[in-house]
Amino acid sequence: MTQEEIKRHRVESVLKEIIPEALATLDDTRINSLLVTDVVCSKGRSDAKVYLDKSFLSPQEQGEALRQLRTVAGYIQNHCKQSEGWFKAPRFTFEFDEQLEKVSRMEELFKQISRNKEGEEEKEGTDES
């Protein structure tokens, strides 16, 4: 891992902690309790994608939350600069994390596969008798 990658990972982990703090200071209940699942910075650390947990929001609420987050992105950027003493902070792009849904869907598929295999093994065991 290069020095640049180490710095980027360090910034990402710091942002993962600071962004929820910044969101909690806002008065908007739609966004002040959102959970940050991941932050991914660009190579130069000038841009960052912030992934949020969407499990408690309807599709309409998700759209409203993203609009509101775009509005307060500058405030969150300033909060990060002030709390860490940085000269500049990355520009934020907010997205809802689809990974959690994909993982749960895959786990469900693996459960179905294991149930099917167990059923087939039981059938083979009774056929041999």
Residue type, 72: V
Name the pTM for this structure.
Answer: 0.75
Q: Is the pLDDT of residue 119 over 80?
A: no
Instruction: Encode pLDDT of 54-71 as tens digits.
Output: 878 888 988 999 999 999
Claim to verify: residue 19 and residue 75 sit in the same structural domain = yes
- pLDDT tens profile 95-111: 998 877 777 788 888 88
Max CA distance (Å), the chain: 76
104 and 55 assigned to the same domain: no
Residues 102 and 122 in one domain: yes
DSSP letter for 87, please.
Answer: S
| Domain identity same for 45 and 13 | yes
CATH of the domain at 41: 3.30.300.20
pLDDT(114) > 80 = yes
Please tell me the predicted confidence (pLDDT) of residue 95: 92
Cβ proximity of 107 and 62 under 8 Å? no
Q: For residues 86 and 78, give the distance between their C-alpha atoms in angstroms, rounded to a whole number.
A: 9
CA–CA separation, 56 vs 126, rounded Å? 46
Structurally, the chain folds into a number of domains equal to 2
Domain range spanning residue 54?
3-96
Q: Do 42 and 75 share a domain, yes or no?
A: yes
In terms of domains, do 68 and 35 share one?
A: yes
User: Same structural domain for residues 65 and 42?
Assistant: yes
In terms of DSSP H, where are the helices of the chain? Answer: 3-24, 59-84, 99-128
Give the number of other Cβ atoms within 10 Å of residue 39's Cβ: 20
